[in-house]
Amino acid sequence: MEEMVLRVIGWVVLAVEVVAALIVAGAAAEGAWRVLALLRRRAGAARDAAKQAVRLHLARWLMVALEFTLAADILRTVVAPSWDDIGQLAAIATLRTVLNLFLEREIAQAGRKEAALEMTARGGKPAGDPVDGPTGGGPTPA
């Protein structure tokens, strides 16, 4: 019975790793497609913003793939929990967590930058502000 459980967990680990690889491959293909589309644009602020969007989109998918590979590593350690395996899992988990934190920080910074650009484009008004009335001092009274 124990051997069957170990075999099933081995297949699950393989399946999870395949899913992670497919996510990375799909994200890389989509990123490459978007970069090729960018090459046809003229250089400028819009192209730079689109480049940043491609980077962040790819980073988000890579974060998802990292979570899948971490899950596979955890399952693998459950099957053979030697101290070496546990130490290796801890090191891998730490590295992936740090990478994830840096990616999340970069994504948040890009989101704040994008929000600031949108606010500037609207004349300094946050999204959802009522349109100024005829006097320019606020909404028209009812």
User: What is the per-residue DSSP string for 16-42?
Assistant: HHHHHHHHHHHHHHHHHHHHHHHHTSP
| Per-domain residue ranges of the chain | 2-121
Q: Which whole number is the average pLDDT over 73-81?
A: 83
- The Cα 24–Cα 91 span in angstroms is 22
Q: What is the pLDDT of residue 43?
A: 79
- The Cα 139–Cα 142 span in angstroms is 9
Q: Please report, rounded to a whole number, the percentage of residues in the chain having pLDDT higher than 70.
A: 87
Give the pTM. 0.68
Q: What is the pLDDT of residue 12?
A: 96
Q: Which whole number is the average pLDDT over 26-40?
A: 92
Question: CA of 103: how far to CAs of 32, 62, 79, in Å?
Answer: 19, 9, 31
